[in-house]
Amino acid sequence: MRIDYEDSYLDDDMRVHYEDELFTGEVVHRDNAGRVIAEISYVEGVPSGPQAEWYSDGTKKNEGQATFGLAVGDWRKWHPNGQLAEHSVFSPQGRRTHRRRWDKDGNLTEDKSFAS
C-alpha cells in the first residue's frame, strides 16, 4: 500500500499509523509544489525496507535500506549537484562499519572503517 504523508500520523512511540492502524507500506512525502521528495517504507509503523529522498529539483539526496528502524547495508548521500557525497555500510544490527565521503567536486575526503 502507498499513502501520502498527510494521511498518516505518529503515535507517542513515533510509529506511523494509517486509519488508526500501524501502517505497513510506503509513505510518500511531497513538497509544496507536489513533487515527491521522499518515499519511506514501513512495517507495522516502523521504517523497514527501501528509504529514499530527493532534492526539490529531482536530484537524489539519499537512499538506503532500514530494518526495524535501523539502517542496514549500503546507504548513499549526494550533493545537490548530483555528486556522491557519502557511502556508508551498516551491519545487519545497524552498526556503521565503513564510511567514505567526497566533496562536491568528487574528491575523497574521508575513508574510515569502524570497529564492529
Residue-range domain boundaries for the chain:
2-113
Are 52 and 37 in contact, with CB atoms under 8 Å apart? no
Residue in the structure block whose three cell numbers are 507536489: 34
- Cα 45 from chain centroid? 15
Instruction: Please give the model's pTM, rounded to 2 decimal places.
Output: 0.90
User: Among 3.20.14, 2.20.110, 4.10.280, 1.10.10, what is the CATH number of 2-113?
Assistant: 2.20.110
Measured distance CA(77)–CA(61) in Å, rounded: 6
Measured distance CA(8)–CA(20) in Å, rounded: 9
Residue in the structure block whose three cell numbers are 512495517: 43
pLDDT tens per residue, range 4-50 = 999 999 999 999 999 999 999 999 999 999 999 999 999 999 999 99
Measured distance CA(56)–CA(20) in Å, rounded: 31
